[in-house]
Structure 1
């Protein structure tokens, strides 16, 4: 693999850094915003969920638009939306304006969550596709951590410009810097060669493959992609992803992406300060939240060594088991009100570590690699659309569940969901480790019997 391939994959993955930053930065502002705008639990849930709701159309249309305009052009649009959202959140004059700009940020996040995995999967050699695809997750994790660090530093900065009443503005506007950097770096990356072949721009694709692969491999890759695309008509309607030929794999991708949110990972990152407020460990809740971001990063790095070696399915099964146990333990500790020690924090760290090196590592790789070339854009968007619908539901309902049902019942519920996910993975998820993109359709037909669906 050439270093050039790593560089352009990393640039595409920067959209994931902004994805992680924008989704997690809200955690550090909730306490201030609750008092600043006098918000109820439902309004807090609505503010957090606004970004997730924006992600739904963003993810749904991104793949289809990228099939028409190209992966690179749509990533540039995504970067511009990030800029608008960061500026808007920083100067919002009312709660309604803040929700609108959070929604715009959500459009960008949804688009980035679909486009970066598609782009990376289409330029990555099969043997390292898992690790290159994981650059998206690594960038998301770095974005989450950077947002926690940024929030912590801003909250502990006393000056004439940054006060207790307006620090939330600086926290939310901080995304402006990486947004501008992302836009300018995108100007230097090439278009996806597989998309170019879909558009009959073969010579241009050949030149780009030549920069990604060594000469002989580049020519072979062009021939493989051309042969795969020529099997069917060039133009694909969105409705075709539900045809009998593709329905099975689209079902698997959609449900898989949706239930990834039911692990409960984002209730930790979005609402960590609210959770830590309910414990009796003392210390800064923002600092404890920052520690969760560090753990997330460490175990994401561990996943790099595992995903192309252990495989996707084994990681998912192991992660669901550990995460389910952790959620049940946390629920039990809240039920017994045994919160005057660091066991809750340690259990949360184990939970985050398990997610980071299993579901977090596999999600963005898997949803972009399981679909055939000709439907990848639309099918990946549809799968990630399911992810964000589920995310919006979880984001909105968690503070209501926390105040209405109590922490114990809430975490017990997520524990049972994680345990139940083992059944879905066991029955429907097929292994893709080391399988070429052009061979995956045949692979899932062979390994996933129709009777299972």
Structure 2
């Protein structure tokens, strides 16, 4: 209940500011204004220039009577004319001003409706089954992704030699890397950029169906290849599924979930990608001893590669049981359909009307900051979008250059270099897969409490330490000691990667961009991660030969410390905000946030080294910034 009291205090403060504004302020959400430093500033200007960094609701200047009228007019204007729905919008519009003030409608709502509204705060995980079905589907998509990534880990032990690229000569190591990287080359240069047109034509659900169909066909195809370039072509085709699917699925999850648990539900993408990675290792181990049959050479690795099609088929069968994203409907100006979808994703109509109305009004404001350029130029020309792009690109780049996929793709080879047998190497790789999945589970809680940014600032230094430990373990003389230390270093790395740089990048990128550029922004984000994924996959075999394990692991350890600095300076926190409220978060100028990050080093030192009881600075609750550079 403390949270409710805090919200009530903020509401009272908002009412005082509303009284100070005066009756002459325009009363339409699109042109709502406040007085700042003695001058009138429109809401759109405030989003653009961040004259007030404290998060503001554009409806806070309106009385309950005005909001009731606005809710009714919105419903009727969008052909939502059933009496129960009109009533829901009248009450929902009041709650859109402050969802925690549901007791204000106690005389107008039934006790059953009030109980549901109370449970949003007392039991935030109490959500309709259909919402969880959306998350299950998104999680199954993620499992497809994970299996696509790791079944090749075991298969490479066989098809490399069969296709004549299994040696240590430079030609062999580069070709093996290129075959590994084929899907990610396609995804980064072609697949991800299909996200916007596919979403525009087919919606979120349709895009997921099409991409999972592509993934299933490509996985099946890989099992029938007969030379390295044929395998390259089949895996390149897999990128047409990986790119748009990895862009669309987190968006779909972000757009259907309530803010309080959005991070936890969107991060299911990474958690179940980790599960798919683990299942891929299991498939590799389970199929290792499958014997060849007459006329089929390499049946075991062919079954490994084809096994990843199974979860993709499951998604194709069930994806249309889930409702379409309300925000996608709204981007098509189909407000009635958006409300219908939201009704299916919330317990009662008041909740659905509140979220639909609030979304619509904030999207009206969002239109004010558009420049009318192509979407890709909007990412660069609009400061708010540019800052979101910077934060997203940092975490997506670092998801690869933290070094995780050198383990996901090549752990069996790394363990072979540590003198384990092939089967033991696959079993050790499975151990990493299990850890990668299990240690992602705590992030369901920490990503929405500890926060996205804090998770990365904590785990980047630890990942650097454990990669150095893994690399330096190869200086230990051959034997049980080396094997144990290499395995320990890899497992410890997995333990800190899974709750941090594992779930944060896709969650952060899916929520950082405003709706009108979200598909393009997510396309850029996923193209970035898949491009550097391809770079890593292509270069690792040759890097290992040239620099030896000590230098190769040390290279990625250094990048983890660079990632710590980039996050500290340039990545704003996004936890607990609606997708529309994030406009204000990303309106904080870059140089202001960088200075805040530098000041945080002093806090970190005093809090965690000197163990002093000091309060952290809360950047987004500061009232004003004087002399700010809005183009930063």
Query: Residues 126-180 of structure 1: CA distance to partner in whole angstroms, max 9, x if unpaired?
Result: 0000111011112201111111111111003347479873311111111222221
Structure number with greater Rg is 2
Matched residue, 2:163: 37
Residue 343 of structure 2 is aligned to residue 178 of structure 1: no
Deviation at 1:410, TM superposition (A): 0.4
Q: Which among 137, 142, 147 is matched to residue 280 of structure 2?
A: 147
Matched residue, 2:349: 215
Secondary structure of 1:435's counterpart equals coil
Residue 396 of structure 2 is aligned to residue 264 of structure 1: no
Cα distance change of structure 1 residues 339 and 378 upon mapping to structure 2, 3 Å threshold: farther
Deviation at 1:338, TM superposition (A): 6.2
Cα distance change of structure 1 residues 353 and 236 upon mapping to structure 2, 3 Å threshold: farther
Deviation at 1:19, TM superposition (A): 0.7
Q: Which among 306, 314, 325 is matched to residue 446 of structure 2?
A: 306
Deviation at 1:249, TM superposition (A): 1.6
Q: Which among 264, 281, 289 is matched to residue 131 of structure 1?
A: 264
Instruction: Point out which structure has higher relative CO (alpha carbons under 8 A, 6+ apart).
Output: 1
Q: Which among 559, 569, 587 is matched to residue 417 of structure 1?
A: 559
Secondary structure of 1:190's counterpart equals coil
Deviation at 1:274, TM superposition (A): 0.6
Matched residue, 1:23: 149
Deviation at 1:220, TM superposition (A): 1.1
1:384-423 equivalence runs, <5 A = 384-423=526-565
Cα distance change of structure 1 residues 36 and 421 upon mapping to structure 2, 3 Å threshold: same
Contact 1:254 1:384 in 2 (8 A): no
Residue 187 of structure 2 is aligned to residue 52 of structure 1: no
Cα distance change of structure 1 residues 258 and 339 upon mapping to structure 2, 3 Å threshold: farther
Structure showing the higher helix proportion among its residues? 1
1:145-294 equivalence runs, <5 A = 145-158=278-291, 160=293, 165-213=298-346, 214-231=348-365, 232=367, 237-238=374-375, 239-245=377-383, 246-281=385-420, 284-294=424-434
Matched residue, 1:427: 569
Contact 2:323 2:344 in 1 (8 A): no
Distance 2:478 2:309 in 1: 42
**More deviation in 176-185 or 116-125?**
176-185
Query: Residues 238-270 of structure 1: CA distance to partner in whole angstroms, max 9, x if unpaired?
Result: 222221332222122123211221000001010
Secondary structure of 1:280's counterpart equals coil
**More deviation in 422-431 or 334-343?**
334-343
Distance 1:114 1:267 in 2: 22
Structure 1 stretches lacking a partner, 5+ long: none
1:95-110 equivalence runs, <5 A = 95-110=228-243
Matched residue, 1:352: 494
TM-score (norm 2): 0.69
Matched residue, 2:38: none
Distance 2:373 2:151 in 1: 38
Distance 1:77 1:439 in 2: 32
Matched residue, 2:52: none
Distance 2:250 2:148 in 1: 18
Contact 2:177 2:541 in 1 (8 A): yes
Distance 1:164 1:148 in 2: 21
**More deviation in 412-421 or 160-169?**
160-169
Distance 1:17 1:161 in 2: 33
Distance 1:351 1:339 in 2: 22
Matched residue count: 453
Deviation at 1:400, TM superposition (A): 0.6
Distance 1:170 1:23 in 2: 15
Distance 1:114 1:339 in 2: 44
Distance 1:68 1:83 in 2: 22
Cα distance change of structure 1 residues 137 and 416 upon mapping to structure 2, 3 Å threshold: same
Q: Which among 466, 473, 479 is matched to residue 326 of structure 1?
A: 466
Task: Indicate the RMSD between aligned Cα atoms, in angstroms.
Answer: 2.0
Secondary structure of 2:267's counterpart equals helix
Query: Residues 316-361 of structure 1: CA distance to partner in whole angstroms, max 9, x if unpaired?
Result: 0111011000111112222454663211101110101111111102
Deviation at 1:450, TM superposition (A): 6.1
Structure 2 stretches lacking a partner, 5+ long: 1-126, 166-171, 595-631
Cα distance change of structure 1 residues 450 and 296 upon mapping to structure 2, 3 Å threshold: same
Q: Which among 490, 506, 520 is matched to residue 378 of structure 1?
A: 520
Matched residue, 2:598: none
Cα distance change of structure 1 residues 159 and 280 upon mapping to structure 2, 3 Å threshold: closer
Secondary structure of 1:156's counterpart equals coil
1:54-73 equivalence runs, <5 A = 54-56=186-188, 57-73=190-206
Contact 1:260 1:387 in 2 (8 A): yes
Distance 1:425 1:189 in 2: 35
TM-score (norm 1): 0.95
Contact 2:394 2:566 in 1 (8 A): no
Deviation at 1:208, TM superposition (A): 1.0
Distance 2:296 2:412 in 1: 20
